């Protein structure tokens, strides 16, 4: 592997770049405080103060060459509409797990697919991961479609894997993409 940290990645409609403390209000306005974004994850919507605190530590995190964490910026508006990041990884085994959040007013526009495809290409081609995996609650078919659209293969369902904020156990679907797979689909 060739860890190089979070590098800027451009797509047709998006700029994926490191977060900056100046992004706080854009994050709150577009996704970080959006309850719909947090429906299928263990976190709760964020306050402006929480986002500012979190962004104040970003510079230190980005100093690590094994930090892969991007703000998803819509080029047309310059607004931060979400995040995409490596949630977990194994350098020894060459795998990582990809995760993303996009504000609900930006859903159904292909942004998550566009960002996930670009980051997956970067992680396989530039960083040198062998395997990228992603998972989501079975109750979140939109994220599952993103995985399918970028060429990930369904590997199974992890029963009772995730404990929801409302006190239920949720089954999770697991997908993966290998460096030996033919291509990463374009959105």
Average pLDDT over the chain, rounded to an integer: 93
| pLDDT < 70 stretches in the chain | 182-187
Q: What is the pLDDT of residue 185?
A: 56
Specify whether the CB–CB gap between 70 and 82 falls below 8 A.
no
Q: Position of tokens 């689909």?
A: 185
Q: Position of tokens 């209000």?
A: 25
Q: What is the pLDDT of residue 31?
A: 95
Q: Which domains does the chain have, with CATH numbers?
A: 9-178 (3.40.630.30)
pLDDT digits (tens, 9 = 90+) for 11-43: 999 999 999 999 999 999 999 999 999 888 878
């Amino acid at each position: 592997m060739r860890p190089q940290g979070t590098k800027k990645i451009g797509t047709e409609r998006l700029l994926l770049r490191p977060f900056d403390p100046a992004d706080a209000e854009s994050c709150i306005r577009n996704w970080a405080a959006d309850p719909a974004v947090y429906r299928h994850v263990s976190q709760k919507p964020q306050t402006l103060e929480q986002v500012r605190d979190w962004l104040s530590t970003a510079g230190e995190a980005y100093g690590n060459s094994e930090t892969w964490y991007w703000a998803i910026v819509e080029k047309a508006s310059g607004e931060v509409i979400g995040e995409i990041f490596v949630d977990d990884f194994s350098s020894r085994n060459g795998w990582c797990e990809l995760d993303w959040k996009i504000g609900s007013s930006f859903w159904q526009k292909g942004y998550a697919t566009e960002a996930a495809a670009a980051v997956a290409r970067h992680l396989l081609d530039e960083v040198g991961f062998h395997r990228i995996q992603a998972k989501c609650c079975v109750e979140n078919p939109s994220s599952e479609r993103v995985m399918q659209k970028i060429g990930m293969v369904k590997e199974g369902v992890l029963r009772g894997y995730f404990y929801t904020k409302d006190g239920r156990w949720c089954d999770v679907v697991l997908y993966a993409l290998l460096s030996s797979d033919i291509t990463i689909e374009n959105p």
